[in-house]
Amino acid sequence: MSDLYELIFETDNPCNTVIFETDTGKVLYQVATEQGKETVTRVKNGGGETLASWVWKDVRSDVITLGNGTPVPVSAWLNKSLVPFKDTVTFQDARGQKFKWKGNGPGLSFELYAEGNKTEPLVRFHKSRTMWDHTVQPPTSRTEPARLVMDSRGIAIQDMAVISFLVLEKSRRTRESSTLNRADAVGLTPGGLIPSQVVIRGIGWA
């Protein structure tokens, strides 16, 4: 990947975070989840326009609305492969071009490829990690935030890449946090919005 562009996640929570451009600090996306009769996650751009929203479902696939489109099951938009690789998911953009996310499984990291290109990812996800400096005593640490790194091809489908990643990462974490209830899994507080400063066990970038 050359001429890389980084999108930084303010908090380690795919259901509630702010995503900004690393060089300028410009806010590109705002992600928030609310719990009422239904649990709904919304993705807005930096100008406050809603790009996508999805309603959580306990048994069936979540239902997503892209822009002003018709609500559809997430499974109808993001098609999981059954064979030969169960950790891949495909989707199409508005022009019908196909893309494939790899890494949809426990302990893996997502990478997005264009159809027909198996070696050069458009987008790559880097998990948050703690960096230790042992050259000083006592050792000090800093947290390197989670980020999506993309090249010019990824930038061309940036909205679709970000939205599909958030949906898939939320689903992956929910599966891995199956012993927790929904509120615990996404850090929901009673009666409403997830506070951005709260990081709950089970939702950090694993």
Query: Average pLDDT of each block of 10 consecutive residues along the chain (206 residues)?
Result: 85 94 94 94 97 93 95 94 78 91 88 92 91 83 90 96 96 71 49 35 37
DSSP 3-state of 17: strand
**Does residue 199 form part of some domain?**
no
108 token code pair? 């893996």
**Does residue 193 form part of some domain?**
no
Report pTM.
Answer: 0.82
Helices marked H in 78-157: 152-156
Q: Considering its fold, how many domains does the chain have in total?
A: 1
**Distance between CA 94 and CA 73 in Å, rounded?**
17
**Does residue 202 form part of some domain?**
no
Angle at alpha carbon of residue 146, lines to 163 and 34, rounded to 5°: 50
- Residue 165: closest CA among 96, 110, 90: 110
**Distance between CA 67 and CA 52 in Å, rounded?**
5
Q: What is the pLDDT at residue 120?
A: 94
**Does residue 12 form part of some domain?**
yes
**Does residue 196 form part of some domain?**
no
**Does residue 32 form part of some domain?**
yes
**Which residue range forms the structural domain that includes residue 156?**
5-186
CATH number for the domain harbouring residue 24:
2.40.160
In angstroms and rounded to an integer, the radius of gyration of the C-alpha atoms of the chain is 17
Q: What is the pLDDT at residue 198?
A: 31
**Does residue 76 form part of some domain?**
yes
